[in-house]
């Protein structure tokens, strides 16, 4: 076992970086065989045959093979195959989220490519060999290892806090689990004792007899209350059902009365018998059944003043203003706006059905709200609300 060959892997898709790091480490690591790979897949293919002690791993590995695994995925697979193998990430991605993710997945260190990267890689490698002599170094929660990994790094990040507080958190979780288990076991016994104590404290209810006195005698001299006033006089009327265009046959009782009946009596909202001598109709008025309904198509559609639909689009084209934010971001496309023309021809309930952002949605709503008063739509001779969908195009010209 003492003569077993030790391996160091270098995984980088840039040939120059690969050779520079190999030459730098070869002079320092006599007795170690350094193997190089340009993809993570090639590294993993021989991993179990020549398991390395240290892996120097790049983040971007797809310059030669499109769709190749990135360094974080390779790091995760290496840690699953050999948790004791230490991985040092060396990458041109100088992004804190990539570094934090690498440390979270178990990387020993994260080094940005550039001046001093080779010396940092060498220093990290010797730290690993020194630390391997420490008892329990393969434990990722070891305090010494945690402090070394996060040296000169942001210790306010969650990975550092999780590692330093792991033992306390595990102890608390264990105590809580034991407490909950003990409570679940002892709960029936506690409830039984409480129930027995309550039974002893319960007293026999006391019965109380209440004697009711007779009501006072009625005063025979007191006059009786006045009779209620008679109902107001009514005249005979016949309910008139306003004609409505429908798809199904109207029931017999909802049919309008014949003209002969209308000549003999008065028209009202209900059919009723009249009071002799009454001459005034009830104050009720015929309600509009479509007062609050929003239509998408009616007998007489609303119209934009002085030209209809073509005039509306001409108005929008004239008054629209391309938002500067959308111009800077090169945002183009169509904004679909829905609005309602109410019974008075006013524009209401303006909303964006599908937008493109960059301030274009707000500009489309502004122009629609600024439109002049329309000619309202009509259904069954009454003005009603009608809904419209309008696409507004935003196009940048070169």
State yes or no: pLDDT of 305 exceeds 80.
yes
pLDDT at position 1 is: 38
Select the more confidently predicted residue: 325 or 139.
325
Per residue, what are the HEC states of 284-304? CCCCCCCCCCEECCCCECCEC
Tell whether the model's pLDDT for residue 321 goes beyond 50: yes
**Alpha helices, H only, 34-165:** 40-45, 71-81, 96-104, 117-131, 143-149, 158-164
Mean of the pLDDT values across residues 173-178? 93
Domains (ranges, CATH) in the chain?
Answer: 6-167 (3.40.50.2300), 232-287 (no CATH), 294-394 (3.30.2420)
Tokens 């002969």: give the residue: 260
Residue 304 sits at φ, ψ, to 5 deg, of -70, 140
Reply yes or no on whether the pLDDT at 3 is more than 70.
no
pLDDT over 60 (residue 286) = no
pLDDT digits (tens, 9 = 90+) for 11-51: 988 888 888 888 888 877 666 788 999 888 988 998 988 88
**pLDDT above 70 coverage of the chain, percent:** 73
Residue 374 reports pLDDT greater than 90? yes
- Residues 347-364 have pLDDT tens digits of 999 999 999 999 999 999
Highest mean pLDDT among 19-23, 217-221, 307-311, 334-338: 334-338
DSSP string over 193-229? HHHHHHHHHPPPPPP---PPPPPPPP-TTSPPPPPPP
List Cβ neighbours of 388 (8 Å cut-off, separation of 6 or more).
302, 338, 339, 340, 341
Query: Do the Cβ atoms of 166 and 142 come closer than 8 Å?
Result: no
Give tens-digit pLDDT for 90-138.
Answer: 887 778 888 888 899 899 988 888 778 888 888 888 888 777 655 455 5
Neighbours of 54 (CB within 10 A): 24
Are 368 and 305 in contact by the 8 Å Cβ rule? The answer is: no
Predicted TM-score (pTM) above 0.95: no
DSSP H or E stretch at residue 37: strand 32-37
Cα–Cα dist 277/223, whole Å: 34
Place of tokens 């496309």: 333
**pLDDT of amino acid 222:** 73
pLDDT in tens, 214-236: 677 777 777 777 788 877 776 66
End-to-end CA distance of the chain: 72
For residue 275, the tally of other CB atoms under 10 A from its CB is 13
């Amino acid at each position: 076992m003492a003569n077993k060959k030790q391996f160091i892997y270098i995984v980088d898709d840039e040939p120059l970086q690969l050779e520079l790091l190999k030459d730098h480490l070869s002079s320092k690591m006599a007795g170690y065989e350094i193997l190089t790979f340009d993809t993570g897949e090639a590294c993993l293919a021989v991993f179990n045959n020549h398991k390395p002690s240290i892996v120097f791993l790049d983040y971007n590995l797809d310059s030669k093979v499109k769709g190749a695994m990135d360094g974080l995925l390779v790091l995760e697979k290496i840690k699953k195959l050999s948790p004791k193998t230490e991985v040092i990430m060396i990458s041109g991605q100088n992004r804190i989220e990539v570094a934090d993710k690498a440390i979270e997945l178990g990387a020993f260190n994260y080094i940005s490519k550039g001046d001093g990267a080779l010396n940092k890689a060498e220093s990290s490698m010797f730290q690993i060999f020194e630390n391997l002599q420490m008892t329990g170094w393969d434990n990722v929660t070891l305090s010494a290892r945690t402090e070394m990994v996060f040296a000169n790094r942001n210790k306010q990040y969650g990975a550092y806090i999780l590692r330093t507080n792991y033992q306390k958190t595990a102890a608390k979780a264990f105590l809580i689990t034991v407490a909950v288990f003990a409570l679940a076991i002892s709960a029936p016994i506690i409830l039984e004792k409480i129930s027995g104590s309550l039974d002893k404290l319960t007293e026999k209810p006391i019965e109380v007899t209440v004697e009711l006195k007779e009501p006072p005698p009625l005063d025979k001299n007191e006059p009786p209350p006045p009779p209620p006033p008679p109902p107001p006089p009514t005249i005979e009327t016949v309910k008139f059902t306003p004609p409505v265009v429908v798809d199904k046959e109207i029931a017999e009782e909802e049919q309008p009365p014949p003209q002969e009946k209308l000549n003999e009596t008065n028209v009202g909202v209900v059919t009723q018998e009249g009071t002799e001598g009454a001459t005034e109709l009830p104050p009720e008025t015929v309600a509009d059944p479509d007062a609050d309904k929003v239509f998408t198509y009616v007998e007489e559609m609303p119209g934009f003043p002085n030209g209809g639909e073509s005039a509306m689009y001409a108005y929008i084209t004239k008054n629209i203003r391309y938002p500067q934010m959308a111009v800077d971001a090169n945002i183009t496309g169509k904004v679909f706006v829905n609005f309602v023309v109410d019974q008075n021809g006013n524009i209401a309930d303006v909303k964006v059905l599908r937008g493109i952002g960059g301030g274009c949605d707000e500009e489309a709503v502004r122009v629609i709200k600024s439109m002049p008063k329309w000619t309202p739509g009509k259904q069954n001779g009454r003005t009603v609300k009608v809904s419209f969908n309008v696409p507004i195009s935003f196009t940048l010209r070169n």
